[in-house]
């Protein structure tokens, strides 16, 4: 091979000149080509978090229930009864942009193996998806591919896809987001770690054979998308869900028999990262012989084997007396289980091939030696314009237009039913799904206990675009309220920070501010960050996505029979708002209403009232325990009127309507109150509840104790949603069927038109 | 009385069927690894849903070659009960234990949803606890549930009362809209000639507890138990 310093191959591998110099200095010599490739993948933004690490350290990560925080394959939270939940969210954006089916499929595979690596059985999946406008043919191609990729891979695994979100907006047109959350359950004693402990222990590769697919996948994931990206389709891995299913069962069996000292997924950067990270965590070294790795292609060299991102493989550290047991279980499931090396005390990752030493690198340098960057941050120029949102810049519609607006919002693809998506996912397998997709947060029971786990993913990128700090705080608050309306207590979050290029000071400012807002909200709501993932360089043709820090939240229901559901239950029940509805033009900032009806993405969203949110969560938890609430629904896109409509849509027979007046929310009295903002405003720290009239005293007692305003705004009725003005004038009446129809057909119609 | 739940590589509703039989209903039940050849302990077998062998080649096409299947043929000959749910139904078709074949859903997509089913024949060991003509709600979750057979085969199935479950609307009519996958004559479940093998696409194990939204499926398993207790299955 030619002299490396002449041809500068690191540039093509994504390393900067300065990073190459650093490697040379720390190594005390020039790396060879294989070593350079190993550095390039592990020092990629995707693996090394070079631009985000300093910010991530500011997030709260500790809490009484957190058993494992960031740094391992997934966070683990105590859920009582000697059980724990491992959960994490991860992105697979770039692969999905060029090869949507396989990109999404392998995204599921990767996060499932992370949960498995903690010793948990994966039990739920949620997908948080972002696409361009549905009328764009490219969106339809990407959307179709991603959804069928999720279905094709996830359904085969027997892990129910219980929730998630889909959001359409122009900035995602060239760079869709595919974030997948997986949750798993384990007994405390089954917790495993990704550490190569015990000098002399055996390193094994279990699962699929290794091929040339996905080489430099994570380097690709750490660059912006441009016209060349299409040519990087070969960087995308190909998934085999059947193999993954066998791998899950085999690894759980191997762990159950006590054979596994350490276990790690081989995802991004494959063998290189799993070896370096397990050894770095344990403070040991590894010597491996790549010739012993089961291969599916002939003539692969050390470079290719070390960098391959072939899917469905796990690295196991096994006690030498247990190797045969692991091989036996592998054979039972028809999987490779090959010894490839041993744990050493050298502190180096030594790679042999055909008896030659192909690489020898200190694991600490490889796994933790990448530089950290704090690039310049500058408040984006656009904010000066978008912040201007005056009363007079938004025309207040006549009451006669409100019905049309409501139906338009319900049919808007961001609000409309996502059934055309989730009916393609098996969300019932495992027979634990108590509240599946399309009804707010997902609720799954934990067999053998009275408990329920509650999962949600949330993030309104439009709000974060308009105010990264308050928008990110909203994402956390909305997730917490989403969990709490089921009656559950929010426990912890995992996050996936999807942003543009951090080398753009305006993008880095967004990232910095968003992390600040997220940290404050997590602190106030006592929901620590247990792990997650950062995906930067989400740009295509120079356009960055909306900054999108997706929040995945876990909540716990102590008694699943006492859960609260979103639909109205019986006519005559009182309908009330817990919290505060602003009703002014500022609350229209970044709202779906403003974009759909007025074609504007503008405003300066208020920060959530975190103290109030805490109180609301307490009220919901206490109310659930006492069984006072008939229904609860959070206020998000579309505001109060859409929340009411959704409670009607999910309502039980004879309770599919309601009549409401905003009088109790204080309409006449305050300055700047507008009907459209009252009905469709967002960024309100509030939820909608209903309860039997004879529970009113009890509910208001709980609210007083928690200092939460309670406003009774109406009553449940049989079959129409009606709105009256403060003066008692009926200005709107929509039959339940019209509401249901707009909501159920919206997405399909928008994809067809 | 003991039930066996066969586990093929890629089965993923095995633990669901096991849970309903063992924990919900309380009947003796064991997993049966697909390499097992001795089924003499069991009076009834469940071929569960999932993606046996990844559904590669064709759904169920590889599973039929699993060692356990040789014994399943004998098990059926002996008049014992076999229920194939979803992928299990597909395997029974591929194995020739039931007539016909599965095509991809006519919507060309996977479908996971609740459907209404009419119990067309209550004189089978799988349905004896339902009312004649009863409409029940059961979930489906499949990509290949579009049942196909030649017209004369369909006629024979109908004539002999072997169409046990049919997709219908809420009032019991087998309409086009009520058919989620394009199955011939809205067929959701059929038996073999002898009546001791049932294949069905819907998942009764997913609706055997009220917390999951309904328990209409439970009586399929209870019917099997009752038939085994009374020896009814042997009278076919």
Whether the CB-CB separation of B59 and B144 falls below 8 Å is answered with yes
Nearest to B141 among A157, A334, A426 (CB): A426
Lowest mean pLDDT among A201-215, A637-651, B70-84: A201-215
Mean pLDDT along residues B184-197: 98
Query: B13 — contact with chain A (CB < 8 Å)?
Result: yes
Nearest CA distance, A445 vs chain B (angstrom): 9
Q: Do A424 and B203 count as a contact with CB atoms less than 8 A apart?
A: no
Residue pointed to by tokens 């933790």: A368
B47, B88 contact by CB (below 8 A) = yes
Residue of B nearest to A450 (CA): B211
Per residue in A441-455, is it b (16+ CB within 10 Å) or e — as a string? bbbbbbeeeebbbbb
Q: What is the largest CA-CA distance in chain B?
A: 45
Each residue of A479-516: pLDDT tens digit?
999 999 999 999 999 999 999 999 999 999 999 999 99
Taking a C-beta distance cutoff of 8 angstroms, is the pair A497, A515 a contact?
Answer: yes
The verdict on a CB contact (< 8 Å) between A157 and B203 is no
Distance from CA of A321 to the nearest CA of B (A): 27
Is a pLDDT exceeding 70 seen at residue A669?
no
pLDDT tens-digit readout, A521-569: 999 999 999 999 999 999 988 889 999 999 999 999 999 999 999 999 9
Name which of B51, B203, B211 is nearest A156 (Cβ-Cβ): B51
| pLDDT confidence tier of residue A6, bands split at 50, 70 and 90 | confident
Q: How confident is the model at residue A227 (pLDDT cuts 50, 70, 90)?
A: low
Q: Does B65 touch chain A (CB under 8 A)?
A: no
A736-752 and A399-411 helices, crossing angle to 10°: 50
Q: Which residue of B has its CA nearest to A156?
A: B51
Q: Which of B94, B120, B144, B205 is catalytic?
A: B205
pLDDT, average across residues A320-333:
97
A247, burial (CB in 10 Å: exposed 0-12, middle 13-18, buried 19+) = buried
Confidence at A267, pLDDT banded by 50, 70, 90: confident
The pTM assigned to this predicted structure is: 0.96
Cβ separation B16–A445 shorter than 8 A: no
Choose, out of B10, B113, B114, the residue to mutate when testing the contact with A (most A CBs < 10 Å). B10
Name the helix (H) or strand (E) containing A359. Answer: strand A356-362
Strands A720-724 and A657-660: parallel
CA-nearest of A121, A74, A57, A48 to A494 is A74
Q: How many CB pairs under 8 A join A and B?
A: 82
| A1: pLDDT strictly greater than 60 | no
CB contacts, 8 Å: A240 with chain B: 54
- Residues whose CB falls within 8 Å of the CB of residue A338, separated by 6 or more in sequence, listed in order: A204, A205, A206, A292, A293, A294
CA-wise closest residue to A210 among A121, A338, A296, A273: A296
Residues of A in contact with B54 (CB under 8 A): 156, 240-243, 245
Rounded Cα–Cα distance for residues B87 and B54 (Å): 11
Q: Give the whole-angstrom CA distance, residue A485 versus residue B76.
A: 51
Is there a contact between A87 and A455 (Cβ–Cβ < 8 Å)? Answer: yes
| Alpha-carbon gap, residue A532 to A496, rounded angstroms | 5
Neighboring chain B residues of A105 at a CB cutoff of 8 Å: none
The active-site residue, picked from A51, A92, A336, A650, is A92
For residue B97, the distance in angstroms to the closest alpha carbon of chain A comes to 24
Q: Rounded mean pLDDT of A321-330?
A: 98
Angle value at C-alpha A307, between A306 and A313, nearest 5 degrees: 80
- Chain B environment of A560 (Cβ under 8 Å): 211
CA B113 – CA A417 distance, rounded (Å): 14
Which residues of A fall within a CB distance of 8 Å from B10?
Answer: 156, 242, 245-246
Q: Which of B13, B86, B128, B207 is catalytic?
A: B86
| pLDDT tops 60 at residue A148 | yes
- Domains of chain A (ranges; CATH) run 192-367 (3.90.650.10), 388-416+564-753 (3.90.650.10)
Q: Does B110 contact A at CB distance below 8 Å?
A: yes
* pLDDT at residue B234 is higher than 60: no
Rounded mean pLDDT, A133-141: 94
Where are the alpha helices (H) located in A681-734, listed in sequence order?
696-706
Pick the CATH number of B2-235 from 3.30.56.10, 3.40.50.300, 3.30.420.40, 3.40.50.880: 3.40.50.880
Which residues face B117 on adjacent strands?
A: B136, B167
Read off the pLDDT of residues A65-79 as tens digits, 9 standing for 90 and up: 999 999 899 999 999
What span, in angstroms and rounded, lies between the C-alpha atoms of A723 and A486? 26
- Nearest residue in B to A243, CA atom: B54
Look at residue B232 and tell me whether its pLDDT is greater than 60: no
The strands making up A710-717's β-sheet, listed across from edge to edge, are A631-634, A686-691, A574-579, A710-717, A657-660, A720-724, A730-735
Nearest-by-Cβ selection for A429 from B10, B109, B141: B141
Please give, rounded to a whole number of angstroms, the shortest distance from the CA of B42 to a CA of chain A.
23
Mean of all residue pLDDT scores within chain A: 94
**A92 among known catalytic residues:** yes
Q: Do A158 and B111 make contact, defined as CB atoms within 8 angstroms?
A: no
Helices (H), chain B: 14-19, 67-77, 87-94, 151-159, 218-230
> What integer is the mean pLDDT of B71-93?
98
HEC secondary structure over A218-238: HHHCCCCECCCHHHHHHHCCC
Residue A365, pLDDT > 60, answer: yes
Instruction: Give the distance, in angstroms, between the CA of residue A700 and the centroid of all CA atoms in the same chain.
Output: 35
Does residue B140 carry a pLDDT above 50? yes
Residue B233 has pLDDT above 50, yes or no: no
pLDDT in tens, A183-198: 999 999 999 999 999 9
Distance from CA of B112 to the nearest CA of A (A): 5
Nearest to A445 among B15, B51, B211 (CB): B211
> How large is the ipTM?
0.96
Nearest CA in chain B to A144: B109
Q: Residue B15 and residue A148: Cβ atoms within 8 Å?
A: no
- Provide Rg for chain B, Cα atoms: 16
Tell me, yes or no, if A598 is annotated catalytic. Answer: no
Residues in chain A whose Cβ is within 8 Å of chain B? 148, 151, 155-158, 240-243, 245-246, 333-334, 422-431, 433-434, 445, 447, 560-561
Separation in Å, CA of B56 to nearest CA in chain A: 9
Contacts of B203 in chain A (CB under 8 A): 428
Asked whether residue B151 carries a pLDDT value surpassing 50, the answer given is yes
Res A222 pLDDT > 80: no
Best B20, B22, B52, B110 member to test A by mutation, with max A CBs in 10 Å, is B110
- Which chain B residue shows the shortest CA-CA distance from A428? B206
Tell me: the pLDDT tens digits for A408-453?
999 999 999 999 999 999 999 999 999 999 999 999 999 999 999 9
């Amino acid at each position: 091979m030619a002299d490396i310093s002449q041809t500068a191959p690191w540039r093509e591998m994504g390393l900067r000149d300065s990073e190459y110099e650093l490697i040379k200095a720390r190594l005390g010599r020039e790396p060879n080509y294989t070593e350079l490739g190993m550095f390039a993948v592990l020092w990629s933004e995707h693996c090394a978090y070079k631009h985000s690490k300093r910010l991530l350290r500011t997030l709260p990560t500790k809490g009484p229930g957190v058993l494992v925080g960031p740094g391992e394959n997934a966070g683990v939270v105590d859920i009582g009864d000697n059980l724990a939940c491992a959960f994490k969210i991860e992105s697979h954006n770039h692969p999905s942009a060029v090869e949507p089916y396989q990109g999404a499929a392998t995204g599921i595979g990767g996060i499932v193996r992370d949960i498995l690596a903690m010793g948990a059985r994966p039990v739920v999946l949620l997908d948080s998806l972002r696409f361009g406008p549905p009328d764009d043919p490219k969106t339809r191609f990407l959307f179709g591919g991603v959804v069928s990729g999720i279905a094709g891979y996830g359904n085969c695994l027997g892990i129910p896809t219980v929730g998630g979100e889909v959001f359409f907006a122009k900035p995602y047109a060239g760079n869709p987001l595919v974030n997948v959350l997986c949750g798993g359950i384990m007994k405390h004693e089954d917790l495993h770690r990704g550490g190569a402990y015990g000098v002399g222990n055996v390193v094994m590769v279990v699962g699929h054979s290794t091929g040339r697919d996905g080489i430099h996948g994570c380097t690709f994931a750490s660059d912006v998308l441009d016209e060349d990206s299409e040519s990087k389709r070969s960087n995308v891995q190909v998934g085999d869900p059947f193999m993954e299913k066998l791998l899950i069962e085999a690894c759980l069996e191997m762990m159950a028999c006590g054979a596994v000292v350490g276990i790690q997924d081989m995802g991004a950067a494959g063998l290189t990262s799993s070896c370096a990270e397990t050894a770095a965590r344990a403070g040991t070294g590894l010597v491996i012989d790549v010739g012993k790795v089961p291969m599916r292609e002939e003539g692969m060299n050390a470079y290719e084997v070390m960098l391959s991102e072939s899917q469905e493989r796990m690295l196991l550290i096994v006690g030498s007396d247990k190797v045969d047991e692991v091989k036996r279980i592998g054979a039972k499931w028809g999987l490779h289980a090959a010894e490839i090396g041993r744990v050493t005390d050298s502190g180096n990752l030594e790679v042999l091939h055909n008896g030659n030493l192909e690489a020898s690198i200190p694991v600490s340098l490889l796994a933790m030696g990448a530089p950290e960057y704090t690039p310049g941050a500058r408040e984006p120029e656009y904010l000066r314009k978008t912040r201007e949102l005056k009363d007079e810049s938004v025309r207040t519609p006549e009451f006669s237009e409100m019905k049309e607006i409501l139906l338009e919002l319900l049919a808007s693809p961001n609000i409309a039913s996502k059934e055309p998506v989730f009916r393609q996912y098996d969300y019932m397998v495992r027979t634990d799904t108590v509240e599946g997709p399309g009804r707010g947060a997902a609720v799954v029971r934990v067999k053998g206990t009275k408990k329920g786990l509650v999962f949600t993913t949330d993030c309104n990128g439009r709000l974060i675009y308009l105010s990264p700090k308050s928008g990110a705080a909203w994402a956390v608050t909305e997730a917490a309220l989403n969990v709490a309306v089921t009656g559950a207590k929010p426990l912890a979050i995992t996050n996936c920070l999807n942003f543009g290029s951090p080398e753009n000071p305006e993008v880095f400012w967004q990232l910095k501010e968003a992390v600040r807002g997220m940290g404050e909200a997590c602190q106030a709501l006592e929901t620590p960050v247990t792990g997650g993932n950062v995906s930067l360089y989400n740009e295509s043709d120079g356009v960055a996505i909306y900054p999108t820090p997706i929040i995945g939240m876990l909540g716990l229901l102590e008694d699943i029979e006492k859960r609260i559901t979103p639909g109205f239950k019986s006519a005559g029940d009182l309908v009330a708002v817990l919290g505060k509805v602003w009703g002014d033009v500022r609350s229209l900032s970044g709202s779906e209403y403003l974009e759909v009806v007025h074609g504007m993405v503008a405003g300066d969203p208020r920060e959530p009232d975190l103290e109030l949110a805490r109180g609301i969560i307490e009220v919901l938890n206490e109310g659930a325990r006492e069984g006072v609430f008939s229904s609860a629904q959070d206020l998000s896109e579309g505001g109060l009127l859409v929340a009411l409509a959704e409670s009607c849509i999910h309502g039980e027979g004879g309770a599919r309507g309601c009549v409401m007046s905003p009088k109790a929310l204080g309409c006449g009295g305050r300055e700047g109150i507008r009907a459209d903002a009252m009905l469709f405003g967002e960024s309100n720290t509030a939820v909608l509840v209903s309860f039997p009239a004879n529970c009113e005293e009890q509910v208001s007692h709980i609210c007083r104790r928690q200092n939460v305003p309670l406003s009774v705004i109406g009553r449940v009725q049989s079959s129409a949603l009606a709105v009256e003005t403060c003066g008692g004038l009926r200005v709107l009446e929509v039959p339940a069927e019209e509401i249901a129809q707009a909501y159920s057909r919206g997405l399909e119609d928008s994809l067809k038109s | 009385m003991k039930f066996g739940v066969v586990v093929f590589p890629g089965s993923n509703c095995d633990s669901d069927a096991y849970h309903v039989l063992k924990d919900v209903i309380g009947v003796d039940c064991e997993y049966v690894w697909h390499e097992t050849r001795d089924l003499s302990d069991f009076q009834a077998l469940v071929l569960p849903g999932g993606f046996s062998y990844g559904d590669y080649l064709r759904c169920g096409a590889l599973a039929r070659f699993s060692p356990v299947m040789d014994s399943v043929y004998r098990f059926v000959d002996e008049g014992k009960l076999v229920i194939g749910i979803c992928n299990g139904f597909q395997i029974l078709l591929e194995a020739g234990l039931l007539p016909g074949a599965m095509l991809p859903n006519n919507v060309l997509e996977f479908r996971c949803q609740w459907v209404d089913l009419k119990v067309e024949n209550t004189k089978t060991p799988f349905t004896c606890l339902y009312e004649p003509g009863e409409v029940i709600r059961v979930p489906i979750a499949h990509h290949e549930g579009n049942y196909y057979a030649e017209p004369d085969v369909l006629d024979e199935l109908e004539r002999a009362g072997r169409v046990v479950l049919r997709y219908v609307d809420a009032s019991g009519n087998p309409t086009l809209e009520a058919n989620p996958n394009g199955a011939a004559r809205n067929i959701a479940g059929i038996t073999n000639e002898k009546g001791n093998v049932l294949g069905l696409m819907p998942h009764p194990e997913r609706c055997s507890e009220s917390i999951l939204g309904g328990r209409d499926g439970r009586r399929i398993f209870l019917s099997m138990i009752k038939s085994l207790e009374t020896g009814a299955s042997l009278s076919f």
